[in-house]
Chains A and B, each alone.
Chain A
Amino acid sequence: DQQVKQNSPSLSVQEGRISILNCDYTNSMFDYFLWYKKYPAEGPTFLISISSIKDKNEDGRFTVFLNKSAKHLSLHIVPSQPGDSAVYFCAASTPRYKYIFGTGTRLKVLA
């Protein structure tokens, strides 16, 4: 049973436009949500996170929104740059600090 879902396997966006990556979860016990960026044959790199008590967190071009009632979070990248092209993983952590990952969305930013 997939507790963290990323339903869009891929996304293409023009350079300079907004990229929106979505993630849904089923477990209301998750208390922290994270986004990671990953290149092939490398480990994921932490991007941004949000606590379950907040609904928005912003860091430069990256903003994460959390809608607890819908069990949905999204990552906004504005403006998108070609260097943002990678696979993005959504993750959720439990109070016992176990991280559950989604299946990833491959973002391609077109120059």
Chain B
Amino acid sequence: DGGITQSPKYLFRKEGQNVTLSCEQNLNHDAMYWYRQDPGQGLRLIYYSQIVNDFQKGDIAEGYSVSREKKESFPLTVTSAQKNPTAFYLCASSIAGGTEAFFGQGTRLTVV
């Protein structure tokens, strides 16, 4: 089955630690995206990548980093510089110049 997989579904992090969220897709999509959702708010774009080995900052990139070494994978690292990391993180992918983006099931990150 083709799709986009995020892991883990729930993640707990201690303050001051970096943590990496996984996102893998087997849809052969060129473009991938990371969004963050906070309670009662919309989806805010963190980073996006249109092609392997290239990515751009979204609206709220501070405190996050990404890599795009493979077409199928777009991991997001939440660094200790991110002041308020507790949120629901969503990964998505789309074909280049395509219409809809397809989303994974999300990772809920909680800082303890």
Contact = CB atoms under 8 A, between A and B. Distances in A.
B43 A101 contact: yes
B48 A43 contact: no
Interface residues of B, number: 30
Contacts, number: 64
Contacts of B103: 36, 43-45
A99 B33 contact: yes
Nearest to A51: B99
A44 B102 CA distance: 8
B100 A97 contact: no
A91 B92 CA distance: 13
Nearest to A45: B103
Interface residues of A, number: 25
Given A43-B105, A45-B103, A99 B45 contact: yes
A43 B42 contact: no
Contacts of A101: 35, 42-45
Contacts of B97: 95, 97
A89 interface: yes
Interface of A: 6, 9, 32, 34, 36, 41-46, 49, 89, 91, 93, 95-104
20 contacts: A32-B99, A41-B106, A42-B106, A43-B92, A43-B105, A43-B106, A45-B103, A46-B101, A89-B43, A97-B50, A97-B98, A98-B33, A98-B56, A98-B58, A99-B101, A101-B42, A103-B41, A103-B42, A104-B41, A104-B42
Given A43-B6, A93-B99, A100-B45, 20 more contacts: A6-B42, A9-B40, A34-B99, A34-B101, A41-B88, A42-B106, A43-B106, A44-B43, A44-B103, A45-B103, A46-B102, A49-B100, A89-B42, A91-B43, A95-B97, A97-B98, A99-B94, A101-B44, A102-B42, A104-B41
Query: 5 closest A-B pairs (Cβ-Cβ)?
Result: A43-B103, A103-B42, A101-B43, A46-B100, A101-B42
